[in-house]
Structure 1
Amino acid sequence: GGVESLITRPVTTSHACLSPEECKQVGISESLIRLSVGLEATADMLSDFDQALSTNK
């Protein structure tokens, strides 16, 4: 494990071996994202999220 922050989609990473039905049973949807926060400053992370989310509107 590193110290950087990561955003992943469990359906294509950690749970990729499960069928769509199995994913549904354990609450893993196509739109679920996983955020693993590293050592960045909170203000920097929030700013990055705001920027990323406003770009996709």
Structure 2
Amino acid sequence: MDGTLIVGVDGSGAALRALDWAADEAVRGGFPLRIVHASGWEWYEGHEPSFGINRDVVRAQA
């Protein structure tokens, strides 16, 4: 395998297990690892644009 290993996480147990696997594979193969965080769409519904969101809270939840 060539390139970057990419894994998506959403905070679930299954995603964290996938992250563990991906980290092991990246180390074993000498690949860079990119972690992509996803969150539920419903979180964004009804929120103000980014200038109205408390960025510290969003970072903590991520």
Q: TM-score range by the shorter chain?
A: 0.3 to 0.5
Q: TM-score under structure 2 normalisation?
A: 0.32
Q: Which protein has the bigger helix share?
A: 2
Instruction: Report 1 or 2 for greater relative contact order, CA contacts < 8 Å, sequence distance ≥ 6.
Output: 1
Question: Could you say which structure has the higher strand fraction?
Answer: 2
Could you state the TM-score of these two structures normalised by the residue count of structure 1? Answer: 0.33
Larger Cα-atom Rg: 2
